[in-house]
Every structure is written in structure tokens, then in C-alpha cells.
Chains A and B, each alone.
Chain A
Amino acid sequence: MIQWIVFIFFSLLAILSAFGVVFLSNPIYVILSLLSVLVSIAGIFFVAGAELVAAIQLLIYAVAVAVFYVFVLTAVPWEKAFKKDSHYRVSGLFSFPLVLILYLEMLLVFLIGIGVSPKGELRELIKKLGNTEVVGSILFSKYFLAFELVSLVLLIGMIGAVLIGRKEGQVYEDDTP
């Protein structure tokens, strides 16, 4: 009963804030609505009993990712920061079919995922071991190859970031001594 009330509260909050992300014109408000979406999704995870996923949602999405948007936006003078003047409307229209394909793919993956996901088999395991241990044991047994591949992708991303951020030698013409 209480679970349902909390779940409905967080879902409504998430949907409302998602509308805010799309329709608000001041970018700082957009970021705050995004933050609200992420936090309420973490709340939904908590209600569903997936504490580890909820905490990671908070730690990585709500803090680490959203902070960088805030960083960028706080450096913008706030009279210039409104969405209306700087929106690529025509380009947005052209990119619509691509976005549609992406959403269709997400839907497909979701439906297939429901078909193959273990129904209720993990519940016993979670009760016996606890959230973190179950996620760890599944990652390092069943999905070990995928896990290692993802870590490889992350490593490549890191090397790319280091390459972009390195100090370049004298490349540009520099007149000042």
C-alpha cells in the first residue's frame, strides 16, 4: 500500500519534471528538472528494492553527470542563456526520423529483454545474499564477457580524453614572447 503511494508519487514527479526538461526555456531550470527526473527515478528504484542501482543512479547520473551541465551553464551570462534565440529548429526537424528510429530500437530491446529476463529466480538469491553481492556475482559470471568489453570501451574513451586534453607543443603561430 505505502509502496504504491510512494511509487505513484515518484512516477508523477518524474513525468512532470520530464515535461519541464522539454518545455522550459531557461537552461538552468532545464538542468534542475533533469536533476529532479534523475532523483525521482532513483526513488522508483528504491521502492522496487533495487538499492544498489538507486544509489548508483544518484551517484553517477544525479551528481557526476548533471554537475557538468551546471558547470557549463554557470559560465554563461544569464541574459544570453535563453533557449529561444539559440535553438536549431530546422536541424531539429530533420533529425526527427533518426530519433524515431532510436526510440523504436529502445522499445524493441525492452520487449525482447522482458521475454528473456529471469522471472522471480533472482528474488531468492537477493534475499539470501543482498543486493550488491547479487549484482557482482551476475556481472562476473553470466555477463563477464560483456562486462570486460565495456571496460575496454571505457579505457578507449579515457585514452581519447587524455589525447584531447594533452598540452600541445608549439603548433600555432605565437607572437607573444
Chain B
Amino acid sequence: MSTLAIDKAGPSRKVKYGSMSRDRAWALRWSYFFLVLFAIFFLTPPIYMLITSLKSSAEISAATNPWWVFHPTLSNYVELLTSNQFLRFFWNSSIVSLAVVLVTMLISVPAAFALARMKFWGSTTLATGVFLTYLIPDSLLFIPLFKMLAMVQDLTGITLLNRWYVLLFIYPTLTVPFCTWIMIGYFASIPKELDEAALIDGASWLQTLTRIFIPVALPGLIAATIFAFTVSWAQFLYPLVFTTSVDQLVLPVGITTTLIKGDVFNWGQIMTGALLGAAPPLIIYAFLMDYYIAGLTAGATKG
């Protein structure tokens, strides 16, 4: 039994006899032991979210064993999913995230193609610039952006502050640089002969992009899409600064500001809201884990 397990253990080593295999068996046991410990550490908060979301307010305030649900109820879910306000947050988040994904892809994919394949004046500088932009955090830009939006609003009379659609312009500053960067990596890994063959076959640059590069780099495209969506969905600082009215809020801000307000924390509902808010990225992750992880590692290992 143990030899069988060790045999499969081996990307690392061949099966050896005697002390070697005994060492390996022990190493394996320790590995599992620590993995279980870390898994408990990593999974406690989401599990606790789930536990609390199934409790009634009465059970929470009764301070029974917090790790167990004695009278499971779905009332928190029912209440939130029938609340217009919560559905509004969910709707805002969905619209903003999907639109940002679209905008991001429309900007990054053509740009990445040009930067990866069409050497032109300043293309290397621009590629480096894109990477640097990716390193500029939101917390450096929210104040000048806030002031800029206010100024544009004064100049043009178009209301920008406290409107969810302003996020469609702001979020791409977070998503586009990274997506462009990893798409450059994916495009660059396509053999040069492939676009030369397309060129000889009579394809224009745009046809090469749409009919060869996009289909061939589809895994990269999916990874970039997932990244853009999860970043948009999770963004907290920009909507907190730029939107205030309840009907303009996206989920993270909506839950933290409306459900937490007041003296009484309705923890059952907060945890339910948080869990529902975490659900879309978690579902995407569950189904497209390999693309998700590919996108995560691509930033540093590609390009």
C-alpha cells in the first residue's frame, strides 16, 4: 500500500528500497498533517461565513457554540434575495464587471498584438510602460482621480461623481495593464512562422489577429478575462470614493456600508451578503481553476 502511494508521489524521486521508502512515507504523512493544518487556517473564514449565514439573529445573540448551527434557517438568504437594495448592488456589480471585461479586452488584445508582433517606434518602451502602470496601486490615484472627476463634472455639467457608470472608465486602469501584459506573453509564445504563414496566405494584420492569434491564444484570453472580472468584482476603494448613494453602490461597498451601519450589526445578513458577494468569483474559480491559475502565474513567468 505504502509503496503504491510513493510510486505516485514521484514527480520528485524514483522508488528506492529500504530506508529511502520509509523516509518518503514519513515525509508524506507530515505533508498531509501540515496541509490539513493550513487548510483549516485558510478555510476557516469562508466556512464561518457559511455557518453564520445559516443562523437566525436570535441564535447569534444567544451566544451558543459559534461553530455549530443548532437551528439552520435560510431566512437570511430569503431576506437578502428579496431585498431590492441588495439586488440593486448585485445588479450594479454585474453590469460594471461585465462591461469592464468587455472594455478591457477591446483595449488590451489589439494593443498586446501590436506590441508583441509589430515592432514599431517606441513599442518596447510602451510595453515596459504598460508593466509599470500595472504596478501603480489604486490607493495612489484615488484622490487625484476624485478631484479630476469633480473638475470634469464642473466643466461639462455631466454628472460623474456618485454614478456607477464612472467606474467603467476607472476600473480599466487596474485591469488593462495586467491583461495587456499577459496577452503580450501569450502572443509572443506563438511561433513567428505562424503569422508569416498567414501573411503569405494573404491575411491582413487584422485578419491575422482575429483568425489566427485570438483562437490560438484562447487560453490566455480566458485567463485575462477571468482576471479582469475578478478584479472588477472585488474592487473596493474606487467605488467607496466615487459613489455614495445607495442605488449607485456595487456589492463590496454596499454590504460594508449599508449592512454595517447603525449600532446593531446584523451578522447573519452580513455574512450571507458577503458569501453571496464572494460566490461569482468562487464559481468561476471552481469551473475554470486551471485558467485562473495560469493567468495568476503568467504575470511573472511570461514575457
A, B in one complex: no
